[in-house]
Amino acid sequence: MSQEERDARLGLTGLTGAEREARVQELRRHIEREKAAARAALQAERTRRAAAAGASAPAHISAEREDKGTDA
């Protein structure tokens, strides 16, 4: 892909130097927001899965402990 094609895809064609820099900064902020949202979603999914696994584990562990006659 040529530099001109990249510029066109990013909306940078026909901009002055200052406008171009402002657009690049805007794109970077957008990417950072998307990255933060994706990380938050991933962490929420991991937390949900851990909670789901943890919710079933105590019942299983409790049953084993009762079978063995142990407290801890």
pTM, 2 dp: 0.63
Smallest CA-to-CA distance from 20 within 28, 10, 12 is with 12
Contacts of residue 69, defined as CB under 8 A and 6 or more positions apart, other chains included, come to none
**Residue-by-residue DSSP string for 27-55:** HHHHHHHHHHHHHHHHHHHHHHHHHHHHH
Per the prediction, the chain carries an average pLDDT of 85
Q: Residues 43-67: pLDDT tens digits?
A: 999 999 998 887 665 555 555 555 5
| Confidence at residue 42, expressed as pLDDT on a 0 to 100 scale | 96
